Amino acid sequence: MVPNYEVEEQWLSVGELQNMWQLMAEKWPPILDHNELKLISQVHEAISIVRISSCPSSETFAFKSVTNDVQYLYHELKTSMTIPPHGHIISAPLYVVTKKHRFGGKVGVCGFILPYFTGGTLRHALITGAHSNRGVSFRDRIRWVNQIIAALIRIRSTPSRFYTDLKLNSILLTKYGGGLGALLVDFEQRGSWFSWPPPEAHHVKYLEMIATAHPDPQARKTYSDLLSSYRLGWSPHSKKARYADRPAGFSNAFGWGGT
């Protein structure tokens, strides 16, 4: 294990983010120091189940952070604080978490706290239902579809405009109306796996991959020129770039980087 300071060097302070986003003070959740968290389990490289020292010991939370690409974390934080409340969209973070930089001492935003939902993902429910005698009822499936559509309609009417991560692992199930309801999570707006985006986004993303990763320089130039002709000023996003506010997210295929 080797210390990695690159991510910490990209952290911005609460004050820097507040000055950049110009959100009303009431939009910001309380600030929590990283030392107040106690790790319970690591369920994903970006998601930890934690306890908070100032909360009852029986209460657990989800702590979202990243091991790279801080810009996506910050965009999700801003997006989740500005989407109006909706029963099938995850609520704004409970806390913003800060940590002191190990190299230089700066205090930066390293993640945020969300409620921990024990109902699991829609993917898990469908898989376990398929292997049980009871299964998942048609009524439940239709209800979840309607709830997901309602959430997408709400997102379409907000400044966020689109949802890039529509896959089974990004839909949680939580208690709702005496049963389980669907809940959309993950608002990084950087795109999704090739198997999930709609065709018009899938094709642009695939062309971007050729334009940036093809081993033949001529092929990269050909497809870069094609994308530039389709969208003036196209350029690939840098994963190592210092965060700057991009209202339309970091997916050219969905938002074309700020327009």
- Structural domains for the chain: 6-115 (3.30.200.20), 122-184 (no CATH), 199-249 (no CATH)
Helices (H) and strands (E) counted in the chain, each on its own, are: 8, 8
The better pLDDT of the pair 193, 172 is held by: 172
pLDDT of residue 209 exceeding 50 = yes
Question: For the whole model, what pTM was predicted?
Answer: 0.86
pLDDT of residue 122 exceeding 80 = yes
For the chain, list the strands marked E by DSSP: 31-33, 37-44, 47-52, 61-64, 95-100, 107-115, 171-176, 179-184
- Banded model confidence at residue 258, pLDDT cuts 50, 70, 90: very low
Q: Which of 30-44, 129-143, 145-159 has the lowest mean pLDDT?
A: 129-143
Asked if 171 contacts 122 with a C-beta cutoff of 8 angstroms, the reply is yes
Q: Which of 58-62, 82-86, 238-242, 252-256 has the lowest mean pLDDT?
A: 238-242
Query: Which pLDDT score is estimated for 259?
Result: 39
Average pLDDT over residues 167-194: 89
**Alpha-carbon gap, residue 177 to 219, rounded angstroms:** 54
Looking at the chain, the whole-number percentage of residues with pLDDT higher than 70 is 92
The position carrying tokens 């398929």 is 130
pLDDT of residue 233 exceeding 80 = no
Average pLDDT over residues 9-36: 94
Query: Which pLDDT score is estimated for 248?
Result: 77
Residues in the chain, total: 259
Average pLDDT over residues 101-125: 90
**Alpha-carbon gap, residue 71 to 65, rounded angstroms:** 11
pLDDT of residue 251 exceeding 70 = yes
pLDDT of residue 257 exceeding 60 = no
Looking at the chain, the whole-number percentage of residues with pLDDT higher than 90 is 48
Q: What are phi and psi of 174, to 5 degrees?
A: -140, 165
Average pLDDT of the residues of the chain: 88
Buried/exposed code over 166-195 (b: 16+ C-beta within 10 A; e: otherwise): bbebbbbbbebeeebbbbbbbbbbbbbeee
Encode pLDDT of 70-109 as tens digits.
Answer: 999 999 999 999 999 999 999 999 999 999 988 778 899 9
Q: Which two tokens stand for residue 103?
A: 């190299």
